[in-house]
Every structure is written in C-alpha cells, then in structure tokens.
Amino acid sequence: MDHHPAAAWLTEAASAAQQHGAGDLLRIVLIVMFFGCALTAWFLLRGYKQKDD
C-alpha cells in the first residue's frame, strides 16, 4: 500500500496521540463545552427576564 504525503500527518498524529495520550485534547474539549453550555444558558435564560414597563 502506498503512503501518500497527505495521509502521512494522520499516521504521525495517531502515533503521537498514543505516546502522549489525549489529555490536552480532552482538556480543550471540556473547556469549550463548559463555555458553550454557559453561553447557551445565558442566551436561553435572558428571554425570561421580566420588563417593568
């Protein structure tokens, strides 16, 4: 099977992930999820504010 240069980075990334683990990626995903949930909650709950007109 031929290895194409475009696919070489994928195999290199896979071997690096096995060596280093998924700690950094997991940390980034959790931070983005946290801020995404906070932003979604703010956007949805701001419509429930009552106006005193």
Query: Mind listing the pLDDT tens digit of every residue in the chain (53 residues)?
Result: 555 666 666 667 667 656 666 788 889 999 999 999 999 999 998 877 766 55
- Please report whether residue 3 resides in a domain: no
Question: Where in the sequence is the domain holding 27, given as residue range(s)?
Answer: 20-48
pLDDT at residue 24 in the model = 82
- Please report whether residue 12 resides in a domain: no
- Please report whether residue 53 resides in a domain: no
- Please report whether residue 11 resides in a domain: no
pLDDT at residue 32 in the model = 96
> Residues 10-16: contacts with CB within 8 Å, 24+ apart?
none
Ramachandran region, residue 21 (left: φ > 0; alpha: ψ -120 to 50; beta: rest): left
Q: What is the number of structural domains in the chain?
A: 1
pLDDT at residue 51 in the model = 64
pLDDT at residue 50 in the model = 66
* Closest among 21, 24, 20, 44 to 32, alpha carbons compared: 24
